[in-house]
Amino acid sequence: MGLMERKTVSTRIEEIGIFPGIRVKTADQALYAAETLYHAGIPVAEITMTVPDAIEVIRKLAQSFPDMVVGAGTVLDKDTAERCLDAGATFLTSTGFVPEVIESALKRDVVAIPGALTPTEVIAAWKAGADFVKLYPSAPVGGDMYIRSLKVPLPQVKLIAAGGVNQQNAKNFIIAGASSIGVGVELLPRDAVLRRQDHRIHELARRFLGFVAEARVTE
């Protein structure tokens, strides 16, 4: 089974515009969350390394859904990066700028999404070869105004706004220039995942996809 090409993965992340961070208590919950989002029209899943057996979850999703953009989140060292890539991760992301993780991704021609916050970090991440830079935490440091400010001097850097993105501000982040928005519990409420409430997750997915579509029309 051939992995999705880096360019395809990058394009799809941007097209879909929603970058769901799956940070749940069990491997089963993570599989359920990713599958439910996939069927709800969001075929992207960032499985964070805080999920028990996260690498096995990535392996299962990559095998079951070859057209899903499945990757690894909170990857903080080279060893973990390599194991995620071996399992079929099509992108690696971290909460901060970890050069060895970017190197692992680029060596295997996989999408690299380092985290950053300050302009210096954003530039460093971009210069290291990042496909996107995940701006975290976006909302607490000024929200969409902060994204807008960064995009003025750095229009060429593709930003994923994450941290505090919700239904109220999602649209503004896209209008401000974010290529995608990182959403967690706002899209996957803990009790909805626990109780397997597909309808709730589908409704939230529909709303967030709607925010992205509306924002792009008004750009």
Give catalytic residues, as residue numbers: 46, 134
- Gap between the Cα atoms of 213 and 186, Å rounded: 18
Q: Rounding to the nearest 10 degrees, give the CA dihedral for residues 42, 47, 48, 52.
A: 140
3-state secondary structure 123-139: HHHHHCCCCCEEECCCH
Residue ranges in the chain assigned as alpha helix (H): 6-16, 27-39, 54-64, 78-87, 99-107, 119-127, 143-151, 170-175, 190-194, 198-218
Question: What is the spatial order of strands in the sheet that 18-22 belongs to?
Answer: 111-113, 91-93, 69-73, 44-48, 18-22, 180-183, 159-162, 133-135, 115-116
CB atoms within 10 A of CB 144: 21
Nearest to 68 by CA among 108, 19, 113: 19
Angle between helices 99-107 and 78-87 in degrees, nearest 10: 30
Residue 120 phi, psi dihedral angles, 5° rounding: -60, -45
